Amino acid sequence: MQVAANTVVSFHYVLTDAANGETVDSSRERGEALTILAGRGQLIPGVEKGLEGKVVGDRFVLVITPEDGYGHRNEEAVQRLSKKFFPNADRLREGDAVVLQTKYGPQQVRVVKVGGSVVDVDTNHPLAGVTLNFDIEITDVRAATEEELAHGHAHGPGGHHHH
Ligand code: ZN
């Protein structure tokens, strides 16, 4: 069976930054393949497209530009915030990753500059503007169940778990 919309695909991946070869994320390190319902926008567009038509055992590298990945950096996404929003304001250093509680939920930001009473943070996705290499190996492809189609996600190992 080939990967197509409404199939459930499992795959291992090693994600590296194309510019410096550093590993950003790896399902192999976690020891569990990622399982998703294809065609529902659960992956960045470049990976969703790159999986189409593949079968179990296929191994390939996708080179994904920001357009098909996490988007371009938005320089207006740098914000100046009062230090009172930061639990450890006095220990903050440039380059630190900090999770802030916002009205939209927790958001990871990167510290750009620490001033006397304010902190400048970059709210871009950490992979915005980055070209990525996805080394992918397909480990399973199957038809989605009625329940998975209704829920809009994959169930079982590597997928969504209900409690
Ligand atoms: Zn479900």
Is residue 15 within 8 Å of 127, Cβ to Cβ?
no
pLDDT digit string (tens) for the chain, length 163 residues:
999 999 999 999 999 999 999 999 999 999 999 999 999 999 999 999 999 999 999 999 999 999 999 999 998 889 999 999 888 888 999 999 998 888 888 888 999 999 999 999 999 988 999 999 999 999 999 999 999 999 999 998 878 777 5
Q: How many A from CA of 43 to the centre of ligand 1?
A: 17
Q: How many A from CA of 122 to the centre of ligand 1?
A: 34
- Structure tokens that stand for 75 in this block: 């320089």
Task: Enumerate residues with CB within 5 Å of ligand 1 (an ion).
Answer: 151, 160
pTM > 0.85: no
**Whole-angstrom Cα distance, residue 54 to residue 56?**
7
Where residue 23 falls (left for φ over 0; alpha for ψ -120 to 50; beta otherwise) is beta
Q: DSSP 3-state assignment of 4?
A: coil
Is residue 34 within 8 Å of 62, Cβ to Cβ?
no
